[in-house]
Amino acid sequence: MPELSLKRLEQILERIGGMRALVIGDIMLDRYVWGLVSRISPEAPVPIVDVHEETCRLGGAANVANNIVSLGASCELIGVVGEDPSGQELEARAREARIEVGTLVHDPGRPTTVKTRVIAHNQQVVRTDLEAKEEVVGKVGKDLLDTVMDCLGRCDAVVISDYGKGVITKGLLDNLIPRARSQQKVISVDPKETHFMNYRGVSLITPNQYEAGGAVGMRIHDEESLLDVGWKIVEKLQTDALLITRGAEGMSLFQKDGAYSHFPTVARRVYDVTGAGDTVICAFTLALSAGAGMDEAAHIANHAAGLVIRDLGTATVSRQALVDSFRDRGSPTMDG
């Protein structure tokens, strides 16, 4: 597969700069507790972490929105937060990142999702999750759907970030997908395996290989099983494109017209894959909405993924970092 030219990349990124995206999904606050381990607890066979620092980052759908802004587009974020200090902190950090959060829906009976990771010597020791997984229903569910429909007309692309925390429901998808397609919007999904069959008709779906295999009751273990799983999903969902991310093996693109492409990873080292899926779907969706072809969008997403997995924790990719990544690869041959 020929590499995308630097000139063509810059053209696509320039168009992305004038775009507006809508992100819908499960919003989270990622907390990190940093420290060192020098002894084992006398109370139980567990390490004692001497805490040196605590930090917070945007997680889940909020990290998707953060990636969109980092790539130069504007973004409205729709999801549910609790009326609690974590929700306030999440909104404040999103505003600092230039994400539009006036579209967030508040639920006083639901906690803001918080994932806390304890890191010692650059390795995760334990993670704790504070969350509610029940589907958003009643007045909050109606407010959520109304907000989505109100925002749809003023966006160029829609990204659904489904972490299975209750925001993405069959009812929401049944209303959103046909409306978005009728308005000729690119609508993409970072999926949850249990909701797979509800995504029928989207432009793009980006499961990892475990989610993809689980969706059709198979395990991907070689090229033959990969192709079998991929084409089964395309047929079942009638999606324009399926991008299966495969970790160190790169990513594989299946298109509705029967085209198939594989993109080997460009990562020089893999440090942490947290949030890599968020970066992939943002880069692909924005590129596609900006006029890139499917293969071009996959090239860009592949480079973005190779950059983000070099950092510990949820991370984003800037436009300049993408340009530098393509420049460093050398020998650009796909003409723009």
Q: Which pLDDT tens digit goes with each residue over 141-154?
A: 999 999 999 999 99
Is residue 251 one of the residues assigned to a domain?
A: yes
Is residue 126 one of the residues assigned to a domain?
A: yes
Q: Which phi and psi (to 5°) does residue 218 adopt?
A: -135, 165
Is residue 42 one of the residues assigned to a domain?
A: no
Is residue 336 one of the residues assigned to a domain?
A: no
**Catalytic, out of 278, 295, 311, 324:** 278
pLDDT in tens, 247-293: 778 899 999 999 999 998 876 554 444 557 888 999 999 999 999 99
Is residue 95 one of the residues assigned to a domain?
A: yes
CATH number assigned to the domain comprising residue 303? 3.40.1190.20
Respond yes or no: is residue 278 known to be catalytic.
yes
Q: Say if CB 322 and CB 300 are below 8 A apart.
A: yes
- Distances from the Cα of 54 to the Cα of 33, 176, 188, angstroms: 5, 38, 33
Domain extent, residue 54, equals 6-36+47-329
pLDDT for residue 335 is more than 80: no
When divided into structural domains, the chain yields a total of: 1
Q: Which pLDDT score, from 0 to 100, does residue 331 have?
A: 34
Give me the residues paired with residue 117 across strands. 32, 127
pLDDT for residue 324 is more than 90: no
Is residue 299 one of the residues assigned to a domain?
A: yes
What is the four-CA torsion angle of 203, 173, 244, 70, rounded to 10 degrees?
80
pLDDT in tens, 69-85: 999 999 999 999 999 99
Q: Say if CB 284 and CB 295 are below 8 A apart.
A: no
